[in-house]
Structure 1
């Protein structure tokens, strides 16, 4: 392995303790079921400690006495009580299992809800920098890791601890040095295994990171399946995915080899214990200080401990593997939300719907400015269009209005209220947004349209669909409004998705309307119908619309021409056509048939 170079990814710096504290915090108020699980499991393990003592009693009876009815009766009484102990242990273990069967799904439900609630509140920037598939994988692994961690503690580590204490006390009662030998060996064994597991953790984390990268590459390829086809990129994408799989496999194989090496060390420890303690026990038996039953007792505890300690090494390694798998999601849960309500934020109250951009500046990175010294006042009920070449900052302005990013400088106010001081949800409730490429939920058309107003009546929903000119095509579908649209709405055409998104905005009926190329995916006939519907929708509302096709914004109250994040021209359509400038140039290009 040392000769082979593996590219190292940044390690998620989350300790095992942080993982446990995260789980503990998310399950606050729901700890008693787990305490009960541990108490019942501990009782079952304690009962199991007495098993070798029954073996001792039977062997001592059989070895020290001649066969007779009396001896058989005594031995059978021991067997009877042994059976009672085993049945009791069985009942207690099953009770623990049934309690766990109730507690774990309930805990899983809480973790799912809490993780999703925190994850979905991360910023727009956060999601643009993440693979959706990787986030899904990380969240699922975080929850699955908790379930397995609980199982390890309840079914492995707790019984092991009780067995260790029971075995040490039991052997010490028969011979002090036997107890000391066993305790010394167990402590040394546990420390070595724990140290090896901690040392291996960094490689488990690299394997986990490589796994997420592999899933992300797979998700990226599936999402862009059409691009792969149209650019004849099968070979390139197959190679790209194979590279991510290859990286994962190298870390997987390396970790597997480490586990095998650690297991070999464990086996050596077991051999030393078995030979050493049996050798000493036989010597003590030869001195008449131990009975044959004691040898059976010792061997019973050795086999019991070896069975549990054999699993201990693997379980400790698994413990840290689970920590590594959970650490990526813990890092996300520990990452503060970039855009959030300030302390004491109040709901936005819309009276007029006037919008003011005052000296607004914004950049994605320090060296890359997007908006600089942007000033714009939109009056109540005014319809303003933003136009300009690609990269001018038009869409960024609307994203800043929606507070998908926090400003670098300046302020944005709605009716005199700084949007940074109002609650995000109240801001979004008062703005209807139709993006250039709307994404729909993989739900029915009815659910997607009603997303704008969940409590809308059937009549209101259909009325909105008619205004958006999508009722006709929906009615022609076999299942009508109950039709599922596919992931991201892929079962619909671009124009159909756009019209459904417009219907959703119409139903929401917010006082401020933001249109980002809202008619870009429509054919000429549909665009004419939608323009008529939008004219009705925009009545009495403050509107900011981004348009590429200038013919769609000729009747706007004001047209703002942007370039490099600044306003360079402003006026009505007729006023701007009279000036020799960017708008006139863009209009001449489109009028000439280039676009």
Structure 2
């Protein structure tokens, strides 16, 4: 989806208009500063006209004029300083609002959105949006408004002295602005390409850093260096091209400014010779030309910075404009779980139209029943639990909890009723106390510690230098796999949801820890509806029912012993695992 500049401006304006008083004061102040700059040269004209034609009280007039000039300059300085304070107040608030808006909307995107996106690139996009606004706000405040006031004011001022000079200057300004505008429009796609390459390079960098261990294990240093070199070289070429054409533009711009200064002064000399202009008019014209050039010199840069800012903002605005894939219905109700019965009725689901994962899938799990899902890789076991959490929308059929269609309840109430212990738990770079408390954010410290004890992670936490206040590192990297999993179990224990999903929850534990955790899980599972995704069949022997899944369908079910008595996939999987790797 291509984002237009209008959409970007609308996003910025939606956040700016929340502060109308400060915004109005800034606009008025900026207009006033540059209006004073248009008026001041007239007093310089009077000053030099007085010098050129001495009169009896000329000295008094000069002193009086000088004080007026100083007073106007001080007034402009004061307003400018006040504006700077106001701009800080406005920009910091809008920057904070933009960051919050981006985060709040981004974090509610779907599971598939995040699996298809680089975390580093998303962070970059959020930061770029706020930086883009800062750039746009600064350009409007310090460049665009001053440019408009200066150009209009100077044309009006010059018109009081000569229509010929006004017409000449006006035509030149139109040519100059039009040329810069079309050049900036032509250059924008290259700025966008540069921005996209920058984001791509950030994603490659973040991907490599996040997989530094894998790179070491597979000695992929040279491969990754070459990969990063290739993307940086592509970025360099685009950046070099945009830089070079900018330098060409600056060169043409300089020639145009030299030309108008010569033309204006040449015409002024002609008018002075016939007595239309005075010496003071030359001072007035020269000051106006200098100030006009100062503003117009930056016009191309203003446009380019606008387009660069829009290019930077476009990627995040595209995300803000992208509808959330999973949304609550307007009539969605809170899910009320009284028993915990789960039903999959004729459920169809596929990640692609050509690849169905579940095909008319049917399964009923009774309240309080402990069910294990087994089957070969790719059978659809994890997909079933993802659909239960409503991470994806199903293509057909219904998923019910206590007779309530989960597509008709709020996502928050649905996920509040289900606890998950994943196979590879990922923790926040926060303290252990915060990570466990995430299961129930209002829990007391004592409740957190109690959950940790039940999950058998209290002992290893106490051995850490800062105990429960220990930061676990990005994604919990400072903990072992088993320690991370026990923290995830403690979090699930604290949540105490009526439905529990265990995705091979003991896979990362050693035998001693697994025995302890199995006790904790048995306690945790009491009175709950439990779904266990099992890869190690030895962990599900005590399940009430084992569901065998293949190609998105239930092909068998029963207890462990019942399934062993049949000549099916379960028995084959059991024999493979029981036999191990030894002959």
Q: Given the two structures, how large is their TM-score scaled by the length of structure 1?
A: 0.96
- Alignment partners' CA distance in 2, 1:59 and 1:592: 105
Pairing partner for 2:21 from 32, 41, 46: 32
Q: Mapping of 1:442-481 within 5 angstroms?
A: 442-481=429-468
Which position in structure 1 is the counterpart of 2:129?
142
Q: CA deviation at 1:31?
A: 3.6
CA deviations 1:305-331 (Å, max 9, x no partner) are: 001100111111111111111001111
Which position in structure 1 is the counterpart of 2:229?
242
**Equivalent pairs, count:** 582
Q: Mapping of 1:51-130 within 5 angstroms?
A: 51-65=40-54, 70-130=57-117
Indicate how the Cα distance of structure 1 residues 146 and 392 shifts in structure 2: closer, same or farther if over 3 A, else same: same
Indicate how the Cα distance of structure 1 residues 28 and 296 shifts in structure 2: closer, same or farther if over 3 A, else same: closer
- Alignment partners' CA distance in 2, 1:49 and 1:516: 73
Q: CA deviation at 1:36?
A: 2.0
- Alignment partners' CA distance in 2, 1:374 and 1:104: 54
- Alignment partners' CA distance in 2, 1:546 and 1:320: 51
- Alignment partners' CA distance in 2, 1:28 and 1:186: 32
Does 2:10 correspond to 1:21? yes
- Alignment partners' CA distance in 1, 2:159 and 2:15: 43
Q: Secondary structure at the match of 1:436?
A: coil
Q: Mapping of 1:134-213 within 5 angstroms?
A: 134-213=121-200
Pairing partner for 2:477 from 490, 505, 522: 490
Q: Check the 8 A contact 1:382/1:543 in 2, yes or no.
A: yes
Q: Mapping of 1:131-530 within 5 angstroms?
A: 131-530=118-517
- Alignment partners' CA distance in 2, 1:26 and 1:136: 20
Which position in structure 2 is the counterpart of 1:567?
554
- Alignment partners' CA distance in 2, 1:406 and 1:31: 42
Q: CA deviation at 1:35?
A: 2.4
Q: Secondary structure at the match of 2:298?
A: helix
- Alignment partners' CA distance in 2, 1:26 and 1:578: 67
CA deviations 1:177-205 (Å, max 9, x no partner) are: 11111122112211111111011101100
Q: CA deviation at 1:29?
A: 2.9
- Alignment partners' CA distance in 2, 1:343 and 1:212: 36
Structure 2 residues without counterparts, runs of 5 or longer: none
CA deviations 1:133-169 (Å, max 9, x no partner) are: 0010111011110011011001111011111111001
Q: Secondary structure at the match of 2:497?
A: coil
Q: Secondary structure at the match of 1:433?
A: strand
Q: Check the 8 A contact 2:135/2:305 in 1, yes or no.
A: no
Q: Check the 8 A contact 2:15/2:94 in 1, yes or no.
A: no
Indicate how the Cα distance of structure 1 residues 27 and 552 shifts in structure 2: closer, same or farther if over 3 A, else same: farther
- Alignment partners' CA distance in 1, 2:578 and 2:159: 98
Structure 1 residues without counterparts, runs of 5 or longer: 1-11
Q: Secondary structure at the match of 2:95?
A: helix
- Alignment partners' CA distance in 2, 1:423 and 1:28: 32
- Alignment partners' CA distance in 2, 1:323 and 1:436: 42
Q: CA deviation at 1:220?
A: 0.4
- Alignment partners' CA distance in 1, 2:255 and 2:90: 39
Q: Secondary structure at the match of 1:412?
A: strand
- Alignment partners' CA distance in 2, 1:396 and 1:294: 81
Consecutive aligned runs of 4 or more in structure 1 exceeding 4 Å deviation: none
- Alignment partners' CA distance in 2, 1:517 and 1:268: 72
Q: Secondary structure at the match of 1:50?
A: helix
CA deviations 1:479-517 (Å, max 9, x no partner) are: 000000000000000000000011001001011111111
- Alignment partners' CA distance in 1, 2:21 and 2:171: 35
Indicate how the Cα distance of structure 1 residues 139 and 530 shifts in structure 2: closer, same or farther if over 3 A, else same: same
- Alignment partners' CA distance in 1, 2:320 and 2:442: 32
Q: CA deviation at 1:459?
A: 1.3
Q: CA deviation at 1:30?
A: 3.0
Q: CA deviation at 1:27?
A: 4.4
- Alignment partners' CA distance in 1, 2:531 and 2:29: 64
Q: Given the two structures, how large is their TM-score scaled by the length of structure 2?
A: 0.98
Q: Check the 8 A contact 1:26/1:114 in 2, yes or no.
A: no
Q: Secondary structure at the match of 2:160?
A: helix
Q: Check the 8 A contact 2:428/2:476 in 1, yes or no.
A: yes
Which position in structure 2 is the counterpart of 1:5?
none
Q: Secondary structure at the match of 1:49?
A: helix
Could you say what the CA RMSD is over the residues aligned between the two structures, in angstroms?
1.1
- Alignment partners' CA distance in 1, 2:468 and 2:385: 31
Q: Secondary structure at the match of 1:472?
A: helix
- Alignment partners' CA distance in 2, 1:377 and 1:594: 36
- Alignment partners' CA distance in 2, 1:121 and 1:27: 24
Which position in structure 2 is the counterpart of 1:9?
none
Larger deviation, residues 484-493 vs 311-320? 311-320
Q: Check the 8 A contact 2:19/2:90 in 1, yes or no.
A: no
Which position in structure 1 is the counterpart of 2:31?
42
- Alignment partners' CA distance in 2, 1:75 and 1:28: 47
